């Protein structure tokens, strides 16, 4: 078994808000991130797949194909978008780094031929990232 990681980047806006809570509660829990006008991040996505090296190609997965899948399933949907307002999975789910990692996993699950999705890592900034390994 070998692990291969491909990176991608996207820039998105978001805010943190829970409709079940009052404005005061949202501001208490989320601080400045509760500003409903939103703010932006340059996210870095790392997708790790696991599999066996193909004896003829030397690949676990076709790198061009993996890049195209990340572009199609994630980057084209999230890049230069307001996550809360334009991406369906964040209409009711707070777009935290943790929830973005889970959402990316759900978008990619079952879409990568030959290899198994192993880990989704999302960096919101250089010193903050979330890892998701699916339901363990």
Q: Which of 27, 33, 86, 89 is catalytic?
A: 33
**Burial level of 2, CB count in 10 A (0-12/13-18/19+)?**
exposed
Give the tokens for residue 16. 């943190």
Q: Within a 10 A sphere around the Cβ of 13, how many other Cβ atoms?
A: 17
Listed residue (55, 36, 53, 50) closest to 112, CA to CA: 50
Catalytic-residue membership of 82: no
Catalytic-residue membership of 124: yes
Catalytic-residue membership of 71: no
Which helix (H) or strand (E) segment is 48 a member of? strand 39-51
Q: Which of 9, 80, 91, 109 is catalytic?
A: 80
Which helix (H) or strand (E) segment is 122 a member of? strand 116-125
Q: What is the SS3 assignment for 6? A: strand
* Strand order from edge to edge, sheet including 128-132: 81-82, 2-14, 39-51, 116-125, 128-132
As annotated, the active-site residues are: 33, 80, 124
């Amino acid at each position: 078994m070998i692990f291969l990681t491909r990176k991608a980047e996207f820039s998105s806006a978001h805010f943190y808000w829970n409709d079940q809570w009052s404005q005061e509660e949202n501001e208490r829990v989320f601080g400045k991130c509760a500003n409903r006008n939103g703010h932006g991040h340059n996210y870095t996505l790392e997708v790790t797949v696991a599999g066996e090296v193909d004896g003829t190609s030397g690949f676990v997965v076709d790198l061009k194909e993996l890049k195209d899948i990340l572009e199609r399933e994630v980057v084209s949907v999230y890049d230069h978008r307001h996550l809360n307002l334009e991406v369906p999975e964040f209409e009711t789910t707070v777009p935290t780094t943790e929830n973005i990692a889970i959402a990316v996993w759900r978008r990619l699950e079952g879409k990568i031929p030959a290899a198994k999705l192993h880990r989704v890592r999302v960096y919101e900034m250089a010193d903050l990232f979330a890892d998701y390994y699916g339901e363990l």
